[in-house]
Amino acid sequence: MYKPTLDYAQQLDKEDKLAHLRAQFHVPKDKEGNDWLYFTGNSLGLQPKQTQQYIQQELDDWAKYGVEGHFEARNPWMPYHEFLTNSMAKIVGAKPLEVVVMNTLTTNLHLLMVSFYQPTKTKYKIVIESDAFPSDRYAVQSQLKFHGLDAENGLIEWKPREGEELLRIEDLEKIVDEQGDEIALLLIGGVNYYTGQYLDIKRIAEIGHAKNCMVGIDLAHGAGNISPELHDSGVDFAAWCTYKYLNSGPGSLAGLFVHEKHAHNKELPRFAGWWNHNKETRFNMRQPFDVMPGAEGWQLSNPPILSMAAIRASLDMFEEVGMEALRAKSEKLTGYFEYLINQIDTDRIKIITPSNPKERGCQLSIQVKNADKSLHKKLTENNIITDWREPDVIRCAPVPMYNSFEDVYRMVEKLKELL
């Protein structure tokens, strides 16, 4: 059983086999040189200390070789994206054939919908969760409009029941059962950005496929946080950013997954560029387009090496530690956090994230009755970096790579004081 004391939190840190990882990150500090309490890995992960070295290597090779760096650099730039594939595939539970790092999240979603959203006169609707991240909503609405469809009537929202914050899978089942003949695509966030709810991705795929709907997953808040097992889930496609839990830096590249069952279907409609053309004839400039198999067949342009170097620096850490160990610590960390929040003697606080660790990522969303953004501002003034979401929710993500049990304890103590 947990204990609400600093000594106990420090003891948990001493027993933590991943505690050494914190020293491998740059943790922002206050004017006195003390570490901030940083709980916004769900918005931007901290910088691994080795990132600078990885980027510097490519800058040095650029200076040394110029264009010949594509072949002569220590890590040749021509195949550089391939250096990321195996590690990224392990993180999301995919085969290397099914994964590529490219573009940014919403760009990838649009490119995937070119292939997997093929509306007809009768089967054209798209299902999203009602509180999907805004960019997902904008993306699917614009896809509907692009196809000449009504963005309101073409969009179906999977909503929590009245008086509840969390989604129920049986409600999605009912929607698809009743309207599946009109639904072309389900595009669902694997971990909801607002509540932190981790949805049953495999079940969502089964529900959609039972009515011949395509199924896509936005893993922006899942990649590097949960283990989605994308291949086994059977979803048709997925996309995710890398600057949150994958610590690749602001605005860095995204990941894309296309299930193996679509890998060799050259007839799938798609946009084309020279980087999804057959590698063997790519530089024979006058060949007709010959699409590559697998996820690489959705690339368009040669990759930005400096961004990929930052991603590689982080992925090498994930490769060393493994998602299993990270998930185990994450569940214990959020479990202790939840316990401490529940010890606060007030009826103003409610955790809207699922209490079952298997149904959440490493985020807890704390609803504070009669609060406004001034509470968040006070936390920030005390060097506690959280994320405020209107109208009354503080999102906190204790990340197992660099957050400690003492971080969690100190944050809750300050929250109690401010309340």
Cα first-last separation, the chain: 26
DSSP letter (8 states) at residue 369: T
Q: How far is CA 14 from the centre of its chain?
A: 29
The residues that bridge with 156 in the sheet, in sequence order, are 127
Is residue 98 within 8 Å of 158, Cβ to Cβ? no
List pLDDT tens digits, range 82-116: 999 999 999 999 999 999 999 999 999 999 999 99
The chain-wide mean pLDDT, for the chain, equals 95
CATH fold of 56-319, please?
Aspartate Aminotransferase; domain 2 (3.40.640)
* CB distance 371 to 418 below 8 Å: no
d(CA 109, CA 105): 6
Domain limits of the chain?
6-42+322-418, 56-319
With 90 as the cut, is the pLDDT of residue 394 above it?
A: yes
Whether pLDDT at 126 is above 80: yes
CA distance 48 to 46: 7
Q: Are 275 and 301 in contact (CB under 8 A)?
A: yes
Q: Where are the alpha helices (DSSP H) in 93-216?
A: 105-116, 134-146, 169-179, 201-209
pLDDT digits (tens, 9 = 90+) for 209-267: 999 999 999 999 999 999 999 999 999 999 999 999 999 999 999 999 999 999 999 99
Q: What's the CA gap between 292 and 272, in Å, rounded?
A: 11
Q: Is the pLDDT of residue 285 over 80?
A: no
Residues 6+ apart with CB under 8 A from 31: none
CATH for 6-42+322-418 is 3.90.1150.10
Q: How far is CA 168 from CA 173, 208, 223, 401, in A?
A: 9, 15, 22, 30
